[in-house]
Amino acid sequence: MTGWITPRRFHEAEGVDDWRMLARGVCAHFITSSLARGIALVGEIGKVFGNSPSAPEIDLRDDGVTVLLPADPTHGLRQSDVERAKAISAVAHDLDLAADPAAAQDIQLTIDATDISAVRAFWRAVLGYRERNDDVDLLDPRSRGPALWFQQMDRPRTQRNRIHVDIFVPHDQAEVRVAAALAAGGRLVSDDLAPAWWTLADPEGNEADIATWMGRD
| pLDDT at 135 > cutoff 70 | no
pTM: 0.86
In the chain, what are the helix, strand and coil shares in percent, each to the nearest 5?
A: 30, 30, 40
Convert the pLDDT of each residue in 45-88 to its tens digit: 999 998 888 889 999 999 999 999 999 888 899 999 999 999 99
Give 21's strand partners.
26
CATH top-level class for 106-211? alpha beta
Write out the residue limits of the CATH 3.30.1360.20 domain(s) in the chain: 4-103
Kindly provide the residue ranges of all beta strands, DSSP E only, lying in 41-94, ordered along the sequence.
Answer: 57-61, 64-70, 77-78
Assign a CATH topology to domain 4-103.
Answer: Gyrase A; domain 2 (3.30.1360)
Gap between the Cα atoms of 173 and 112, Å rounded: 27
Q: How confident is the model at residue 134 (pLDDT cuts 50, 70, 90)?
A: low
For residue 1, what pLDDT is reported?
Answer: 45
| pLDDT at 143 > cutoff 90 | no
Judge whether 141 and 129 are in contact, CB under 8 Å.
yes
